[in-house]
Amino acid sequence: MTKQAQVKTETAKPVPTLPDAQTVTAVQHWTDRLFSFRVTRPQSLRFRSGEFVMIGLMGDNGKPLLRAYSIASPAWDDELEFYSIKVQDGPLTSKLQHIQPGDQIILRPKPVGTLVHDALLPGKRLWFFATGTGIAPFASLIREPQTYEDYDQIVLTHTCRDVAELEYGRRLVASLKDDPLIGEMVGDKLTYYPTTTREESPKMGRITTLIKDGTLFSDLGIEDFGPETDRAMVCGSIGLNNDLKEILEAFGLREGANSDPAEYVVEKAFVG
């Protein structure tokens, strides 16, 4: 074989790709603690709005470093969106925060989760309670047509430490009315209730406090939660999830699951 032919054979080798690789298409940094990004969607991936998948990067030891991330985009979107915290010494997010368009990430195409319509019994009003990055599954669900088909009213509460941390959700909600696909369905069914706990803003306080002292209900002109009418999905820290579970149970709502739908469902937001 001539030297030239040898070179040709060598360059024809396929470039090695990660298993389950997807390509990053966009990255947006919201604060020094938060960023969102979009990646290509595997053609075969079907999921229900609100579910999560395992995503990550190849670790230094050659093993995939994966974490559960809620898909923040709706099931009809051509791409997948994720919303993440940046933890400077976090094994995954210390690296993931540096991804750029064109980079590859690993995505295991096995969606699962309890924050799905199937896990709730029919109702009239649907509450999405989020803190921090816990808004991710609801970013998907507020763009899901079924949300507006199944309920008369949807309330999204989002509590963060400061105003800048609300921006991802605020912009998303603001963009919905003009969305060509679901703008009309959203109409005035969606109520957005942002609160902060560590910086001055129009509405301050933990959502649990605002429920207990009646502020949430008086602000929205709602009497209280009722097991006949109200359904809830909760996504935040373990502390928030436990506190809200106790509150919802006290109003007579019961926790549901895919196999046993009821009045509310809970999932932990990714924090590491």
- Find the part of the chain contacting ligand A2P (CB under 6 A) among 59-67, 114-122, 154-162, 227-235: 154-162
Judged by CB, which is closer to ligand A2P: 95, or 161?
161
Site string for ligand A2P, 172-211 (x = CB under 6 A): -------------------------xx-------xxx---
Determine if 131 is a binding residue for ligand A2P (CB under 6 A).
yes
User: What is the secondary structure of 231-260 as a DSSP string?
Assistant: EEEEEE-HHHHHHHHHHHHHTT--B-BTTB
CA distance 218 to 210: 10
Determine if 70 is a binding residue for ligand A2P (CB under 6 A).
no
Name the residue among 140, 142, 146 with its Cα closest to residue 118: 146
Alpha helices in the chain (DSSP H): 3-11, 93-96, 136-141, 145-150, 167-176, 183-186, 207-212, 215-220, 238-250
CB 225 within 8 A of CB 248: yes
Site string for ligand A2P, 224-243 (x = CB under 6 A): ------------xx-xx--x
CB of 85 to ligand A2P, least distance (A): 8
Determine if 159 is a binding residue for ligand A2P (CB under 6 A).
yes
CA distance 174 to 185: 14
- Find the part of the chain contacting ligand A2P (CB under 6 A) among 50-58, 136-144, 156-164, 171-179: 156-164
Determine if 157 is a binding residue for ligand A2P (CB under 6 A).
no
Contacts of 20 by beta carbon, 8 Å cutoff, 6+ apart: 42, 106, 107, 108, 109
Which positions touch ligand A2P (CB under 6 A)?
131-132, 159-161, 197-198, 206-208, 236-237, 239-240, 243
